[in-house]
Structure 1
Amino acid sequence: MSELPYRNGSDPSARPLARHVTWHWATPQAQAVLATRDLAAILRFHRRVHGQSQAEAAAILGYDKTYISALELQKRTITDVGSLRNVADRLALPPHVLGVTDPADTDHRAMLQFGQSTVRLAEIARQSGHASEAVTELWPLVARLEARAADGHTERDVLRLLAHARLSLGTALGNVLPEEHLSTAARWTAKSLDLVSHLAEAALTSTALRMHGNELRKAGLHGAAVDRLLRASTLTPNQAGRAAVLPLLARAAGALGNAELFDRTLREAQHLLQDAEHTSLFNPVALYEIRMRGLVATGRPRTAIREVECGAPTATTTVAPQWRVIELITVGRVRMLAGDARAAADLFDAATREATVQRLPHQLQRIIRASKDTLPETSDAALLALGQIRTEMAA
């Protein structure tokens, strides 16, 4: 078959309508169909998930209804490259699925490999205290992937990479944005969560819920944060996933003022320290900070004061730089509650210096709130640093 039997002899060049561009090709069922490279099966699947008749599918492809029927019954076939590429384009499929080698598809595969490396390196940069650099690297990748998805190419590997890139971007933005803009970070992680719902992968869904829940907490939406993090904890498939979600759930429960959930979650996290691998975010030092902040938030400042007097635990692994800033501020707040203004000022000043270097406006805002009534010089220094960061962001 060398020529397409277009209806009325015309070559319709318009791309598929937006209503036909869905996530269905990313589902596990679709992947099984696509793996066969059987055009008949692919056409039948396409019609089924879209609820289309053969006539409607014919209209999209520019064929007669009878030709669609013949293709599905395998009475006719398409072998020429141009025709197969047209079918792939109109069904929003990568050409290789239909056996067509396409330079654009080859470029796409290279982009996927590059994109995976970009996301990994961005995560390393963020956890090393360079969140702004992570944002710079992730913006163009997310834009390119979203453009491809919007163009109708919703292959599963594209969507999975886009989900990870959106999560990483949202989390990095959650580090570098001031409090009044933290909802932007939560929106990016929410976009990823909406996407992964179509992929039906428990581990990825748990990761998206966990990261989105933490950004919701930072944006002040504590009830929603607890909801997402509880769901993440039920979906996580292994010990490492649970170790990642429990500290964040404890944080959100404390911020919500739910002492019972906070205590229960933190106990489990502390117990898990004995068996799970320690990471830059799951370790005794991080859990110590979470406990201090949660005790204060749930109305138990005296307990927090007693535990601060006992000192912080010994680090068992490298702690993410931003967590060091967070700990300094939290312990400083507890020192303030204990009436030790001098020690609090020293802790806040150290946190201000580190937050300025790492460009962490949200943490500077925490310092300003904690010190403005009793430590005006400390508050003014943090306010000045925050102003400098705002100016740089606006440039």
Structure 2
Amino acid sequence: MPPPPGITPASLTPRPLARHITWHWATPQAQDVLATRDLGAILRFHRQVHGQSQLDLATLLGYDKTYISALELRKRRLTDLGSLRHVAQSLSLPPHALGITDAADSDHRAVIQFGESTVRLAEIARQSGHASEAVAELWPLVARLEARVDEGYAEHDVLHLLARARLGLGTALGNVLPEEHLSTAAHWTAKSLDIARRLDDPALTWTVLRMHGNELRKAGLHGAAVDRLTRAATLAPSRGARAAVLPLLARAAGALGSTPLFDRTIKEANRMLDEVDHTSLFNPVALSEIHMRGLVGTGRNREAVSQAERAAPTPTIAVAPQWRVIQLITVGRVSMLAGDHAGAGELFTNAVHEAAEQRLPHQLQRVLRATGLLLPSPHEAAARALCQLRAEMAA
């Protein structure tokens, strides 16, 4: 399934958030203040963040300075819904922060609720080999959340959901875009990192660093990828979380040609196989593919051939469909290094078929580079499939 009509790699380039966004309402301190529903405390917090006097705030709201003082000291109460809505709008607060529930606010709450489900289902779709469907689901959600933030309503739940939606969109794009447009995927994940930093959310920061680093690697920015992934490994909140980073770091180190870092990382990852639960990325089959590719990337072709000739690891968990394609191509490359062109040709042919079915242009481009003039049949098949995918994306 192609992206929605009119959505092209160019149109998916993220635009910067509006300059007037009030990030301060999304901080942990602001969340504590807003949770009190105390208008006086909210007004004082706003003034403190912006360095405003009571007179400045009174001018902004169109009230008298003494009235602002009375509200902050709780000597006066503001109960009129129209006035509360005016204060909320002036301070770029959602109405519900001041106890107002209206149709627009109820609609916004529904967007948050269904947005959470959309992000989860899109990730399931991507992991199941339907990345283009994930893009189609996430793009409208990201656009709607960005419109909300551009209006100045930078609530914590909106920004947190926007970060995760952008991250999911960038990761899905990393599957469906050809190599020349993979920087777009990395830009989307980078935008999530900006939000995670502003929210001061360690768990979100770890997640974004991990996934952003992988998109940087796919875009060919290997040094930056290693930097982000190394930081993600350092920030990992648990052994399982660190295990989730290590395969990605090993791939980036191999692509960079950093033999010491690759060897340390793949060794640690293999050692942890018996210590943590396996996932679609962290499992013996995936690590075997990463090991082979890293050995080739660090110039150790003979060791890569020896690795391929060993007994295939026993699958311990269902592997995502795209990993099957990745593994076929890597084993095909190593088979060519071993002089087995017939076996490599069969592997590449199967990889082309599955990559076309799953709409994975980047993997088709890997086949093109690996086969060249030596294996004309899979090379031509990959070229035809890639041309077809590009035509569908441009439609």
Deviates most, 156-165 or 171-180: 156-165
> For residues 303-318 of structure 1, what are the structure 2 equivalents within 5 Å?
303-318=303-318
1:113 positional shift: 1.0
Could you say which residue in structure 1 is the equivalent of 2:359? 359
**Unaligned 5+ runs, structure 1:** 1-17
> For residues 1-395 of structure 1, what are the structure 2 equivalents within 5 Å?
20-395=20-395
1:63 positional shift: 2.1
1:311-334, CA deviations, whole angstroms, 9 ceiling, x for partnerless residues? Answer: 321111100000000000001111
Alignment partner of 1:271: what SS?
helix
CA distance in 2, matches of 1:384, 1:111: 41
Going from structure 1 to structure 2, the CA distance change for 1:330 and 1:343 (only over 3 Å counts) comes to: same
1:360-391, CA deviations, whole angstroms, 9 ceiling, x for partnerless residues? Answer: 00000000001013112221110010000000
Contact kept in structure 2, 1:20 and 1:50, CA below 8 Å: no
Amino acid at match of 1:165: A
**Unaligned 5+ runs, structure 2:** 1-17
1:20 positional shift: 5.0
1:280-311, CA deviations, whole angstroms, 9 ceiling, x for partnerless residues? Answer: 11111111110000000011110010111113
Contact kept in structure 1, 2:47 and 2:57, CA below 8 Å: yes
Deviates most, 109-118 or 87-96: 87-96
1:216-246, CA deviations, whole angstroms, 9 ceiling, x for partnerless residues? Answer: 0000000000000111111111223112111
Amino acid at match of 1:52: Q
CA distance in 2, matches of 1:333, 1:286: 16
CA distance in 2, matches of 1:20, 1:373: 55
1:230-269, CA deviations, whole angstroms, 9 ceiling, x for partnerless residues? Answer: 1111111122311211110111111111111111111111
Could you state the TM-score of these two structures normalised by the residue count of structure 2?
Answer: 0.93
Q: How many equivalent residue pairs?
A: 378
Going from structure 1 to structure 2, the CA distance change for 1:300 and 1:19 (only over 3 Å counts) comes to: closer
Deviates most, 67-76 or 335-344: 67-76
Amino acid at match of 1:252: A
1:169-218, CA deviations, whole angstroms, 9 ceiling, x for partnerless residues? Answer: 00000000000000000000000100111111211100000010000000
CA distance in 1, matches of 2:232, 2:57: 39
Amino acid at match of 2:373: D
Deviates most, 114-123 or 372-381: 372-381
Alignment partner of 2:209: what SS?
helix
Contact kept in structure 2, 1:284 and 1:316, CA below 8 Å: yes
Query: Where do 4+ consecutive residues of structure 1 move more than 4 Å?
Result: none
CA distance in 2, matches of 1:211, 1:277: 19
Alignment partner of 2:199: what SS?
coil
Deviates most, 304-313 or 59-68: 59-68
CA distance in 2, matches of 1:201, 1:54: 32
Could you say which residue in structure 1 is the equivalent of 2:12? none
1:105 positional shift: 1.4
Amino acid at match of 1:131: A
CA distance in 2, matches of 1:40, 1:20: 23
CA distance in 2, matches of 1:20, 1:38: 24
Deviates most, 352-361 or 29-38: 29-38
Contact kept in structure 2, 1:296 and 1:304, CA below 8 Å: yes
CA distance in 2, matches of 1:392, 1:56: 56
CA distance in 2, matches of 1:123, 1:251: 21
CA distance in 2, matches of 1:376, 1:272: 41
Amino acid at match of 2:96: H
User: C-alpha root-mean-square deviation of aligned residues, in Å?
Assistant: 1.2
1:56 positional shift: 2.6
1:19 positional shift: 5.5
CA distance in 1, matches of 2:151, 2:20: 11
1:23 positional shift: 1.0
CA distance in 2, matches of 1:239, 1:107: 40
1:67 positional shift: 2.4
